[in-house]
Amino acid sequence: MDSTFSSGLVWFRRDLRSDDQAALYHALRQCRQVHCVFVFDREILDPLPRADRRVEFIRESLVELHDALRKLSGDEHGGLIVRHAVARDELPALARSLGVQAVFTNHDDEPQALERDHHVRAVLLALGIRLLTFKDHTVFERAEVLTQSGTPYTVYTPYKNAWLRKVDDFYLSAYPVERHARRLARRPEGLRGPVPSLQAIGFEKTTLAQLRIPTGMSGAQQLLKDFLERIDAYDDARDFPAIKGPSYLSVHLRFGTLSVRQAARLAHERSRKGSAGAATWLSELIWRDFYFQVLAHHPHVAGSSFKPAYDAIAWEEGKQADEHFAAWCEGRTGYPLVDAAMAQINQTGYMHNRLRMVVASFLMKDLGIDWRWGERYFAEKLNDYDLSANNGGWQWASSSGCDAQPYFRIFNPVSQSKKFDPDGSFIRRYLPQLARLPNAALHAPWLAKPIELEAAGVVLGRDYPEPLVEHDAARERTLKRYAVVKGG
């Protein structure tokens, strides 16, 4: 095959794998030799805490990616060029020094990323270098799934139905990277160093290893294999935080160590054979695409409500709001399921999906605090943080987003606790101070009999806090608060 370019550069970002990688495949097809780079972007990293599991996850995944690219190239000096710099400056400079004619990368529709890519494209163009971008982290993106009138969907179910009508083997097939891997280039002298250590880029080791979070492509495949043995039960098991129900693949989809095409292909095949669990998981992957296209078409959601009327809600402010928010963040609300969930995210960087809905509802509809506060906290803590999904989930819970739950749907944290952690296993794991309470008292300790509290060694206000608010009264306040958008 004739090549369009003599030399190209693949810029890895949220796509840290060597198999089924769109930009890498297109570069190998269009260039006689292909260099590969990842930039630890200081614009993103510098504001982060020095111990950040996401940075360690990326670093460990890059070690595996580098080794995979080196082996594919068949050259001991092949592999990944890794830089620690401001990407918008470093990428054009590297492309120029390598003498490439084109840079290949995959789409990223977050507003900050789009602005960065616009800048890089302009600088590269001035150097006579093209920037070519491709779809990789979704099955369908941007304007690929539209209504019959050609407008973006704003309601999930019709979007899902259209997604399912359109999907076929072509959209779910893998890019055969290995077939063209002979075009991977040797790294130039001076750029052959190993993936830098965390310390070299100013970060510290985290609890990633202790938490046994598998990294890289091999980690993704290990988790996927395990999940496929459980996927048929996913529709029921996924709601119970104490059991192994979820896929635990979200961080791998976030950083692209797993191809979403592979995930969707397996789910689609299994769902067509009648697996309700696989169909439910496929629906979750479609939700992911849905939120990406919402962000692409409505970038204002990154800072304000999808439904503008909801920005008129008067959220709580002042000292008490600050204190209540701190108590929510630290798991001191007095509602065990909420507090256990917050302990989970604080200790592990993960929170079960059912609990994300419960704690979000509690923050906004029990404490009356702006959803954006919670969104920012999750952005700081979640290993799998993704702007579109995090924003979409918070706006769904706040009733202000696309196809959100009705404003009058308010989760009762005690009812949710009894239903989804009936024997208290999850609560006991994260709130050991309550472990000796009987099940009947565990979900609402303030209603426990004095003899039960005494037998369990629990003194409310000392060992565990009294509730910040009374749920029924908070519910009435929320209905009044949302009256400004009644019918919205």
Residue with tokens 């929170």: 351
Question: Of 43, 346, 353, 412, which residue is the catalytic one?
Answer: 353
Give which of 59, 11, 95 is closest to 195, Cα–Cα: 59
Tally the C-alpha atoms within 13 A of residue 406's C-alpha that lie toward its C-beta: 5
CB 291 within 8 A of CB 159: no
Among the listed residues 281, 287, 328, 396, the single catalytic one is 287
d(CA 301, CA 295): 7
Is 287 a known active-site residue?
A: yes
Under a CB-based contact definition with an 8 Å cutoff, are residues 13 and 137 in contact? no
Can you read off the two tokens belonging to residue 350? 């993960």
**Closest to 358 in 3D by CA, of 74, 172, 344:** 344
Choice among 43, 144, 284, 316 that is catalytic:
284
Q: Can you point out the beta strands (E) in 231-279?
A: none
353 is catalytic: yes
Name the catalytic one among 11, 371, 373, 396: 371
User: How many residues would you count in the chain?
Assistant: 488
Give CA separation, 134 vs 121, 141, 249, in Å: 14, 10, 23
Q: How far is CA 256 from the centre of its chain?
A: 11
Active site residue 446: no
List the structure tokens of 19: 């198999």
146 has which bridge partners?
152
Spot the catalytic one: 281, 328, 394, 396: 394
- 11 counts as catalytic: no
C-alpha Rg value of the chain to the nearest Å: 24
Contact 23, 15 (CB under 8 A): yes
394 is catalytic: yes
Smallest CA-to-CA distance from 421 within 437, 410, 407 is with: 437
Please tell me the chain's helix, strand, coil percentages from 3-state DSSP, rounded to the nearest 5. Answer: 55, 10, 40
Q: What is the bridge-based pairing of β-strands 102-106 and 130-134? A: parallel
Residue of 141, 144, 315, 452 with catalytic role: 315
> What angle (nearest 5°) sits at the alpha carbon of residue 462, between those of residues 457 and 468?
120
Does the annotation count 390 as an active-site position? no
Distance CA 281, CA 66 (A): 31
Residues forming the active site: 284, 287, 315, 353, 371, 394
